[in-house]
Structure 1
Amino acid sequence: MIGVEEMVVSGGVRRASRWQDAVRLLLLIDTSAKPVPEHLNAPARAVGMVRTQVRLQKLDFWLRYPDYLAFELMNEYEAAPEETGLLDLAEEILSSEEPDLRRFPMLRHRFGAFEELDEALSPLVEKGLVSKDQVLGENRVAEHLYFLLARGREVASHLAQDAPALQWYITRTKLLVAMVDGLGGTQLKNRQYLLKDYADTTIGQHIAPITGQARDRLSRLRAAASTNSKGNS
């Protein structure tokens, strides 16, 4: 469908191609989709659903900023130091070119990282892979709903076979969704705001990478883990 190397540069900012955006969102929706509640008037072919635009935006941010994802893995490790594999995953990200190669900047909006999803989702809707709906409030849209259709699940399951270079997206999407399983969009938004670099970005500006900061933190955590290990031996 696409190659992961595809990208364009606009105004000096590295941008994913339209097809990269579409595939990334398809994988996010496929991996994070939950069963459709029976009371919803869902499309007949719906096999899963992602509730709220905020949740999809926040998941997309971590996929587009691997250094921020590594930072979150280190937060998870500090909360559960026995899970040393979390440090290994953070190191896998930070010791590679991933933070630069896979980063596609997002703008800081009023409520954090934001980018319009309609253009990226339109190929998925047109091809019958995803369907969108809205829950209307009194004066505005109260909630966006994203339905994964049966054809979308089928395409997502074959992506790695058809384009092996996309395996990175599949692996990272599964890691990301497992990390935040059970958290809603507002919880994810609040979690991202805990990092000062993110919160202090001027509205309308692209959120800057934190690769150096994340690597320094990883070194400190590795050193502390080694000291603790020696002290317990």
Structure 2
Amino acid sequence: MITLTGGRTTRMQDAIRILMLLDAAAEPLAEAPTEPALSTAVGVVRTQIRLQKLDFWVRNPDYLANELLNDFENGDRDPTLLMLAEQILDSEEPELRRYPMLRYLFGAYEQLDDALAILRQADLVVRRLRGAPGHITQHDYYLLEQGRAKVSETAQKYPALDWYSARSKLVVALADGIGATQLKDRQYLQEEYLNTPHGFRIPSITDRARNRLSDLRLDGTIKDVG
């Protein structure tokens, strides 16, 4: 059984998280693939950048909550956004379920080959590369029928792991209509993220996000919304 504690992840944790994220983020296929290995594909996530950026928000609840506050303040002040941010920041989730990622050339990055190998071996996910050897232009991640079924089965057997699914759905909703490059640019707006040297892990912004929430409470914003 997997325990949800902050820090470094295991290969199996990565596999489960990525499977549930792909299940939440996969777009329906425009046409049935002709390749036999993809005959049971039910959806696809296109580009590694998009998958990594979505994964960053799943792995970093503090940054996710901060983005929810951004959308709340910059939009129509939807109370649901505020409620979701409060649920995260008023709990120990930022400490217990935060898995830092490296700052790389295109932003937050973590090696996913081991996790994807587990998913492929179990016939849950297939990754396909576009381009030529030495010049890969795109990664496509296909979710298979068995993968979608495994997500449902896992949620029923291990309720604690359904957190991954719930957070994945929230992250995908937050990123709705935003392209991979826009996601990257949005995450770069956070100074801690932007200023992390390449090859180092992106630091937490939990204290800043909680202080921001406190300020909203002090100025009466939350009471007015409620």
Deviation sequence 1:73-124 (CA, Å, 0-9, x none): 0011012243012111111101111001001111110111111111111110
Q: 2:90 aligns with which of 89, 95, 107?
A: 95
Question: Percent identity of the aligned residues?
Answer: 49
Q: Which residue of 2 aligns with 1:16?
A: 9
Q: Which residue of 2 aligns with 1:170?
A: 165
Aligned-CA RMSD value: 2.0
Q: Which residue of 1 aligns with 2:25?
A: 32
State the AA in 1 paired with 2:175: V
What is the CA–CA distance in structure 1 between the aligned matches of 2:49 and 2:97, rounded to whole Å? 22
What is the CA–CA distance in structure 1 between the aligned matches of 2:76 and 2:52, rounded to whole Å? 29
Deviation sequence 1:144-186 (CA, Å, 0-9, x none): 0000001001001121111111121111111111111122211
Cα 1:44–1:79 change in 2 (3 A) is: same
TM-score by length of 1: 0.90
Q: Tell me, yes or no, if structure 1 residue 187 matches structure 2 residue 186.
A: no
Q: Which residue of 1 aligns with 2:126?
A: 131
Given that residues 101 and 108 in structure 2 are in contact (C-alpha distance below 8 angstroms), is that contact kept between their aligned partners in structure 1? yes
What is the CA–CA distance in structure 1 between the aligned matches of 2:4 and 2:222, rounded to whole Å? 41
What is the CA–CA distance in structure 2 between the aligned matches of 1:120 and 1:225, rounded to whole Å? 45
- How far 1:137 sits from its partner (Å)? 5.7
TM-score by length of 2: 0.92
Given that residues 216 and 222 in structure 2 are in contact (C-alpha distance below 8 angstroms), is that contact kept between their aligned partners in structure 1? no
> What secondary structure sits across from 1:103 in the alignment?
coil
Given that residues 76 and 86 in structure 1 are in contact (C-alpha distance below 8 angstroms), is that contact kept between their aligned partners in structure 2? yes
- How far 1:135 sits from its partner (Å)? 1.2
Q: Tell me, yes or no, if structure 1 residue 4 matches structure 2 residue 3.
A: yes
Given that residues 24 and 169 in structure 1 are in contact (C-alpha distance below 8 angstroms), is that contact kept between their aligned partners in structure 2? yes
Q: Which residue of 1 aligns with 2:110?
A: 115
- How far 1:60 sits from its partner (Å)? 0.7
Q: Which moved more, 1:124-133 or 1:162-171?
A: 162-171
Q: Which moved more, 1:167-176 or 1:134-143?
A: 134-143
Aligned residues: 223
Q: Which runs of 4+ in 1 moved over 4 A?
A: 39-42
5+ long unaligned stretches in structure 1: 8-13
- How far 1:192 sits from its partner (Å)? 0.2
State the AA in 2 paired with 1:189: K
State the AA in 1 paired with 2:24: T
- How far 1:4 sits from its partner (Å)? 3.0
- How far 1:25 sits from its partner (Å)? 0.1
1:176-215 matches, cutoff 5 A: 176-215=171-210
5+ long unaligned stretches in structure 2: none
- How far 1:219 sits from its partner (Å)? 1.3
> What secondary structure sits across from 1:20 in the alignment?
helix
State the AA in 1 paired with 2:93: E
